[in-house]
Structure 1
Amino acid sequence: MRTIKEVAELTGVSVRTLHYYDEIGLFSPTSKSETGYRLYDDKALEILQQILFFREFDIPLKEIKAIIKNSSLDRNQILQMQREMLVAKKERLEHLIASVDDVLKGDNRMDFSLFTKTEVEKMFHLMFINMPEEMRQTAIGEFGSAEQWKQHYLEVVASEEVQRRYAKVVEWYGGKDAYLSTLEKPISKEVAESYKKREEAIRQKLLEKRNCDFQSVEVKKIIGEYGFVMKQFCQMKEEKPLMLAVAQSYRNKPCQQAIDQQYGEGAAQFFAQAIEAFYSD
């Protein structure tokens, strides 16, 4: 058994920090001496090591506590989770080092790829397991096999153009971690269908106000509802960039033709203008 002072000297974590971890229920001593001093065994030190691993990634203490206290996760599962995080960080650092080396050699073109190879593979896996079976089988048939499809996906996502697009999407979600977290918790088919019906209802309500000014309370109220629905559906932190992108999509020829065919000539232009007027304020 070690005293709190010995643990602090061994790990580099201050006594004050260890006291705080105990207060919030994150890391408690194994027992206390007769005089009330905190004592820690080897198992406690192993838990502290896991906590310090997570702190390396600036993960909030509240989230670390939820992971550590999760009874469904054993020691090896937590270590595997940390290993994946470290590998992703290692790849990112190696990527940045290689970019700096290229500049030092005279190549002034920096590579600003957003995702590491591990993260892209994870993105493909999440897409693969969460898409409808019919769509998945169609894609596999097109590429010849799931592995060939995966390789194509990795090559496409690694391109500069696609990385730039992802950078904008990640910004909408409030960060890369938030975006990847959203991929892990996709909206169910039933919920997606519900949101689709709600969007349809909003468009119909908007059409009824077609003769109103874009700045009118009636139109603004409907667009505000539209933005809220899209924000919830896409699980984004901020809906303005998304809604402006939606407005732009209404101006793209294929979408414009489909919307005008469904709602009448000029409907797509009206939807786009109403959204832009609302979010330009």
Structure 2
Amino acid sequence: MKTVKEVSHLTGISVRTLHYYDEIGLLKPTRISEAGYRLYDDKALEELQQILFFREFDMPLKEIKAVMGNPDLDKNQLLSNQKKILVLKKERLERIIASIEDILEGDNKMDFEVFSKAEIEQMYEQMSQNMTEEQKKIFVQEYGSMEAFEKHFVESASGEEAQKNFAKVVEWYGDKDSTLYAAKAPENSEIVEAYSKRYEQVIKKLVSMKGKDVTTFEVKQIVGELDFVVKQLYRMKDVTAFMLQTAEMYMDNKEMQESLDQIHGGGSAMFIGKALKAFYGSHE
């Protein structure tokens, strides 16, 4: 058994943080001594090690607690996936270092690749794991086999245009690691469906304000509600860039306007676009 001070010295985690983990139920001590000291056994230290691994990926404590407390989740598989992300990040950094060395040596060659082939293959693997059998049948009918679809996906995603789109998605999520995490993170389909329905409800509420000044509090209040839903739906910390680009599409893309206006009535796309611009324009 180790005291909280010994655990702190061993791991570098402050005593205050260990006390907080106890308070929120993330890591309870194995037992409390008669003198009131928290004591931790080897099993508790193993749990702390897993918690620290997850913290390295900026996972919120609430999510870590859910993972640690769910017996149905394969924690080793999650850590294995996190390891793959680290390896890919290491490879990316090595490519950047190599590019810098080339520039310093006079070979002014820049690497604009956003995701490597290995990272794209990993995205495909995660995507295929989350596909239903019905979805797989559609791709088999279209491409002949899942292997053929995988080849098409990797080749297409490696192209210049796709890499430009990836760059935009990375901008939305803030960094590449967050993008990969959002792409691979297990998500309850019922939760996604619930947020999708709520998104449609908020859009309808926003459209009901059509004709009003988009700078009024009541319109901005609805966009604020939309902001929360989009963050939850797409697992983004900040959706400003994403929503501003969405606003531009609603205001400039004729096909997008026609499609949205058919659902919500004429002028809806333009109104939503202006409302998003008014709300997020001040965030730039």
TM over 0.5: same fold? Answer: yes
Deviation string 1:213-232 (CA, Å, 9 cap, x unpaired) is x9699xxx999989978995
- Contact 1:244–1:276 (8 Å) recurs in 2: yes
Paired with 2:202 and 2:31, the residues of 1 have a C-alpha distance of 57
Paired with 1:197 and 1:17, the residues of 2 have a C-alpha distance of 41
- Contact 1:99–1:111 (8 Å) recurs in 2: no
- Contact 1:247–1:273 (8 Å) recurs in 2: yes
* Greater CA drift, 152-161 or 37-46: 152-161
Spell out the pairing of 1:7-46 with structure 2 (5 A cutoff). 7-46=7-46
- What is the match of residue 281 of structure 2? none
Is 2:83 the counterpart of 1:86?
yes
Gaps in structure 2 of 5+ consecutive residues = 279-284
Match of 1:128 among 105, 127, 131: 131
Paired with 1:20 and 1:276, the residues of 2 have a C-alpha distance of 44
Partner of 2:111, secondary structure, is coil
Code of the aligned partner of 2:9: E
Paired with 2:58 and 2:197, the residues of 1 have a C-alpha distance of 37
Paired with 1:5 and 1:227, the residues of 2 have a C-alpha distance of 44
TM-score (norm: length of structure 1): 0.68
Is 2:238 the counterpart of 1:246?
no
- Indicate the structure (1 or 2) with the bigger Cα radius of gyration: 1
Report deviation, 1:233: 8.0
Report deviation, 1:65: 1.6
Paired with 1:178 and 1:58, the residues of 2 have a C-alpha distance of 10
- Contact 1:215–1:277 (8 Å) recurs in 2: no
Spell out the pairing of 1:136-155 with structure 2 (5 A cutoff). 136-155=136-155
Seen in structure 2, the aligned counterparts of structure 1 residues 278 and 198 have a Cα distance that, compared at 3 Å, is closer
Seen in structure 2, the aligned counterparts of structure 1 residues 9 and 248 have a Cα distance that, compared at 3 Å, is same
Report deviation, 1:93: 1.8
Report deviation, 1:46: 0.9
Q: CA RMSD in A?
A: 4.3
Deviation string 1:73-131 (CA, Å, 9 cap, x unpaired) is 3xxx21221121121121122122123213312253133415724641245325633xx
Deviation string 1:228-265 (CA, Å, 9 cap, x unpaired) is 7899589356444324323433x25xx678889x79xx
Report deviation, 1:201: 11
Paired with 2:196 and 2:83, the residues of 1 have a C-alpha distance of 34
Report deviation, 1:152: 1.5
Paired with 1:117 and 1:241, the residues of 2 have a C-alpha distance of 24
Count of aligned pairs between the two proteins: 258
Seen in structure 2, the aligned counterparts of structure 1 residues 224 and 156 have a Cα distance that, compared at 3 Å, is farther
* Greater CA drift, 79-88 or 13-22: 13-22
- Contact 2:126–2:183 (8 Å) recurs in 1: yes
Code of the aligned partner of 1:242: T
Paired with 1:17 and 1:200, the residues of 2 have a C-alpha distance of 44
Report deviation, 1:2: 2.2
Name the % identity.
Answer: 34
